[in-house]
Chain A
Amino acid sequence: MRITSFVFFLILSSMSAHAQIVGDMDETKLYAESKQVNQFFRRFNGEEDEKGNRYYPGDKQYRNIKLRKKYLGILFNESNTGMPAVLKTEFVKNVLDKSETSVLDFHGGNWFSEVHTVFTANGKDQPVTLFMTLEKDHLGSKWVIQKVYADMFAPYFVRDTLKVGRFLHPMSHELDFMNLRKAFVQTDSVAQFASKKFVPDHLSLFLYEVKKGTLKFKTVTDVKFHFFQLDGWYFELANFNRPGYNTGWLISNLVKLKNPVEKDVLRKYLYYETK
Chain B
Amino acid sequence: MVNTRSTYSLLALLLLLATAPLFAQQAEISPQRKQAIDSLALEKVRDLSKYISIIGNKKTAYSEATRVMDRAEELFAPGSEMGVSSLNRKEVNYYKVRKYFERLMALNYDRVSIQWYDIHYISDLERQPDGRYVGVVTVYQRFEGTNDDGMKYKDTTKKDITIYVERKKTQVSGRTIEFWDVMLGDIRVTETSA
Contacts and interface: CB of A to CB of B under 8 A. Distances in A.
Nearest to B131: A139
B183 to A, nearest CB: 17
Nearest to B31: A56
Nearest to B83: A220
A249 B130 CA distance: 29
Interface stretch (A18-26, A69-77, A266-274): A18-26
B140 interface: yes
A36 B194 CA distance: 16
Contact of A140 (B91, B124, B128, B142): B128
A30 B117 contact: yes
Contacts of B83: 220
B60 interface: no
A241 B190 contact: yes
B146 interface: no
Interface in B51-102: 83, 87, 90-94
Contacts of B115: 22, 25
Interface in A231-251: 241-243, 247
A106 interface: yes
Given A35-B158, A52-B121, A106 B126 contact: yes
Contacts of B122: 52
Contacts of A141: 126-129
A212 B193 CA distance: 41
A172 to B, nearest CB: 49
Enumerate the 5 nearest inter-chain pairs by beta-carbon distance, A residue then B residue, closest first: A140-B127, A38-B123, A138-B129, A137-B129, A139-B131
Given A36-B121, A36-B138, A219-B92, A139 B158 contact: no
Contacts of B121: 35-36, 39, 52
Nearest to B154: A24
A58 to B, nearest CB: 9
Interface residues of B, number: 35
8 contacts: A18-B118, A25-B194, A30-B140, A38-B123, A106-B126, A140-B128, A141-B129, A219-B92
A56 B194 CA distance: 31
Contacts of A36: 121, 123, 136, 138, 160
A90 interface: no
Contacts of A29: 194
Contacts of A52: 121-122
B37 to A, nearest CB: 12
B138 A35 contact: yes
A27 B130 CA distance: 37
A184 B35 CA distance: 65
Contacts of A56: 31
B108 interface: no
A137 B126 CA distance: 13
Interface in A190-219: 218-219
A26 B156 CA distance: 11
Interface string A114-130: 00001000000000000
With most chain B CB atoms within 10 A of its CB, the pick from A118, A241, A242 is: A241
B119 interface: yes
Given A30-B119, A30-B194, A139-B27, A222 B90 contact: yes
A213 B64 CA distance: 43
B81 to A, nearest CB: 12
A221 interface: yes
B136 A20 contact: no
Contacts of A118: 91
A44 interface: no
Nearest to A59: B31
Given A36-B160, A139-B127, 15 more contacts: A19-B119, A20-B118, A25-B115, A25-B142, A35-B121, A38-B136, A52-B122, A56-B31, A138-B129, A140-B131, A141-B126, A142-B128, A219-B94, A220-B83, A242-B193
A240 to B, nearest CB: 10
A234 to B, nearest CB: 24
Nearest to A37: B123
Given A26-B194, A29-B194, A140 B126 contact: yes
B192 interface: yes
A54 interface: yes
Interface in B156-194: 156, 158, 160, 190, 192-194
